[in-house]
């Protein structure tokens, strides 16, 4: 077990040095990993496990778009690709990677195949943390574990193919076999994690829902829109407004932050930019912190979870979602973005 020191706080983490791929494969050599769902996380995790030499099968609804995607990715019907219930029968570790709404719907089917000694694996703490709302209560004689990559399944796969790893959190909700720690560690390494840091199901879902609605997606879109609209209303062109708002951040500055941190990025910008950033960042923090505090309270109270369940369980939720996404896609800012991206050198 490696240790990370953060001043007054020390964390234990699992790295590839003390838990190499060879050890992970030894731990899971008699296991059949059934990846249930082939949407957001399923493809990346399943393909990485397969390429790393684990025994993996995929369970997906036949003749669906995701079934066709699995076929295109090389999964073979009757050998490595099965209907969901058949995959649940065959698997000793069930990676439950359907959407939160999908997990609620399919839970009766999955639960009846969770026989003694199997493991139920999540990449999101939603179903377990809000079990009073989701009805997902696992049998007591199975391991219940979590590996949550800190990024999309697409990023997980891309980084794996580049020879890199995407950091993940891990958690153990139920250790029925006494082997849950080894199982979750091996799976975390197998799916392509850079390192694994410990959490619990509740902390994972609270941080995840806050992050998605906050800096990862909701807040960043709100900040983008606010700055873009202010620039446009003051006579700046769409190209100038988009480049100053989005393109410079994503293509130039964020890679520097990822490489060595915010302080290093600041140090590699002009002194004028440094002065302005240092003068203004606390104002943005103070303005947005009350919104984040409200957001966290809503997450902790279960209100965000209920809104997601209510919206995503409607029969026409995909159509309604597409309408809302279309509003983003058709906004001037993102139409400008589509044009700007075509002008990048790699696209010409």
Q: What residues have CB less than 8 Å from 239, skipping those under 6 apart?
A: 336, 340
Please list the residues that pair with 14 across neighbouring strands: 196
CB 113 within 8 A of CB 94: yes
CA distances from 185 to 12, 24, 143, 146 (A): 13, 7, 13, 10
Those residues whose C-beta lies under 8 Å from the C-beta of residue 73, and which sit 6 or more positions away, are 43, 47
Say whether 268 sits in a helix, a strand or coil.
coil
Active-site hit among 3, 113, 124, 236 = 124
Q: Which two tokens stand for residue 3?
A: 């240790």
Q: Are 140 and 176 in contact (CB under 8 A)?
A: yes
118, 91 Cβ separation under 8 angstroms: yes
CA distance 304 to 50: 35
Q: Please name the residue that has the structure tokens 């696209």.
A: 347
**Nearest to residue 148, comparing CAs of 102, 187, 94, 103?**
187
Determine whether 124 is an active site residue. Answer: yes
E-only strand ranges, the chain: 2-6, 9-15, 33-36, 56-59, 81-82, 93-96, 119-122, 143-149, 168-174, 195-198
Q: Let me know the angle formed at the C-alpha of 196 by 41 and 113, rounded to the nearest 5 degrees.
A: 50
What stretches of 20-115 adopt beta strand conformation (E)?
Answer: 33-36, 56-59, 81-82, 93-96
- Across the chain, which distance is largest between two alpha carbons, in Å? 67
CB contact at 8 A, 202 and 129: yes
- State the catalytic residues: 124
């Amino acid at each position: 077990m490696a240790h990370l020191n953060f001043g007054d706080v020390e964390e234990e983490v699992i790295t590839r040095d003390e838990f190499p791929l060879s050890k992970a494969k030894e731990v899971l050599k008699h296991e059949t990993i059934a990846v249930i769902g082939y949407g957001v996380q399923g493809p990346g995790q399943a393909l990485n496990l397969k390429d790393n030499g684990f025994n993996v099968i995929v369970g997906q609804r036949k003749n669906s778009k995701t079934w066709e995607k699995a076929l295109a990715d090389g999964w073979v019907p009757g050998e490595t690709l099965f209907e969901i219930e058949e995959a649940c029968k065959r698997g000793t570790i069930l990676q439950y990677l359907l959407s939160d709404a999908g997990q609620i719907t399919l839970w009766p089917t999955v639960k009846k195949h969770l026989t003694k000694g199997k493991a139920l694996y999540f990449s999101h703490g939603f179903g377990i943390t809000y079990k009073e709302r989701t009805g997902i209560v696992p049998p007591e004689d199975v391991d219940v574990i979590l590996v949550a990559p800190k990024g999309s399944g697409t990023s997980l796969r891309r980084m794996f193919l580049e020879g890199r790893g995407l950091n993940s959190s891990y958690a153990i909700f139920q250790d029925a076999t006494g082997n849950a720690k080894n199982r979750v560690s091996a799976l975390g390494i197998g799916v392509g994690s850079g390192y694994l840091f410990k959490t619990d199901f509740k902390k994972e879902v609270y941080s995840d829902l806050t992050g998605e609605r906050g800096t990862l997606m909701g807040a960043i879109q709100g900040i983008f829109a606010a700055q873009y609209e202010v620039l446009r209303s003051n006579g700046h062109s769409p190209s100038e407004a988009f480049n100053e708002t989005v393109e410079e951040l994503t293509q130039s500055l964020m890679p520097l932050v990822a490489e060595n941190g915010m302080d290093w990025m600041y140090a590699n910008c002009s002194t004028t930019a440094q002065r302005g950033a240092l003068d203004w960042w606390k104002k943005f923090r103070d303005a947005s912190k009350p919104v984040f505090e409200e957001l966290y309270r809503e997450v902790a109270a279960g209100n965000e979870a209920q809104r997601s369940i209510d919206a995503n369980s409607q029969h026409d939720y995909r159509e309604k979602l597409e309408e809302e996404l279309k509003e983003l896609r058709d906004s001037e800012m993102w139409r400008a973005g589509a044009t700007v991206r075509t002008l990048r050198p790699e696209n010409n």
